[in-house]
Amino acid sequence: MATATLPLRLLASKTLGRPSAPSLLPASRCSLSVASSAPRRWRLLASAEEAAPAPVEAEAVAETEEEVVEVEAAVPEPVEAQLAAAGAGKDAGIFAVVMIGSRQYIVMPGRYIYTQRLKGANVDDQIILNKVLLVSTRDKAYIGMPVVTNAAVHAVVEEQGRDDKVIVFKYKKKKKYQRKLGHRQPNTRLRITGISGYEDYPADPILEYVPA
């Protein structure tokens, strides 16, 4: 058992009423032996208690891994997989550029897009988009001036939803003015089913690249 020797100086107290005995309190320094075994026993017990709940932490990690797997399963298919599935049909290798409102979108059969809210459109409604600016196949390109005549993009409304929330925060320094607002822009999800009506429009051939 380890011991530590600490010097101790005893001083006479002025507040005590009874005089201290000179024979019991020598003027020279005396030594006091203190055993430091209690802290070491406490440390050993603490380390033993911390090692016990290790299996509980392993179970918690296993539960989190299962939750992560469930979340990954809910992620939609990547765009490459959707394009590969759409390319297996007769419209393989075809895409178009269509204008909806004031924005332009690249569409392909079998692929879905999010556009600004289409008023009056309900879920499962079939719509036709006539403002087709360009249609491209494997060997030809139909470039509109400004649109491709008689070309149409067929789509089906899948969902009427809203975008993720955007925080609008206003602040004026030294005026005690601040405002925090949230906004979710309405949108429409369209599934492209086909592109037609472009065959009679003048086409430009797509030249193959020949390396030098």
What is the C-alpha to C-alpha distance for residues 133 and 135, in angstroms, rounded to an integer? 7
Q: Domain residues for 173? A: 90-201
Q: What is the pLDDT of residue 64?
A: 39
* Single pTM value for the model: 0.53
Judge residue 21's burial from the number of C-beta atoms within 10 Å of its C-beta, 0-12 exposed, 13-18 middle, 19 or more buried: exposed
Helix (H), strand (E) at residue 43: helix 37-51
Whether residue 94 is predicted with pLDDT greater than 60 in this model: the reply is yes
Please give the full DSSP string across 18-37, using - where no structure is assigned: SPPPTTTS-SS-EEEEEE-H
- Per-residue pLDDT reduced to its tens digit, 126-176: 999 999 999 999 888 999 999 999 999 999 999 999 999 999 999 999 999
- 19 domain residue, yes or no: no
Position with higher pLDDT, 204 vs 151:
151
Indicate the residue type of 33. Answer: S
- 175 domain residue, yes or no: yes
- 97 domain residue, yes or no: yes
- 132 domain residue, yes or no: yes
- 192 domain residue, yes or no: yes
Q: What is the pLDDT of residue 121?
A: 92
Q: Is 161 left (phi over 0), alpha (psi -120 to 50) or beta?
A: beta
Q: What is the pLDDT of residue 210?
A: 72
Could you give the number of structural domains in the chain? 1
- 145 domain residue, yes or no: yes
Which range scores top for mean pLDDT: 36-45, 66-75, 167-176? Answer: 167-176
Q: Is 119 left (phi over 0), alpha (psi -120 to 50) or beta?
A: beta
What is the C-alpha to C-alpha distance for residues 156 and 150, in angstroms, rounded to an integer? 19
- 182 domain residue, yes or no: yes
- Per-residue pLDDT reduced to its tens digit, 11-36: 554 544 454 444 444 544 544 444 44
Q: Report CA torsion sign: 58, 63, 69, 75.
A: negative
What is the C-alpha to C-alpha distance for residues 45 and 3, in angstroms, rounded to an integer? 21
- 75 domain residue, yes or no: no
Longest dimension (CA), the chain: 126
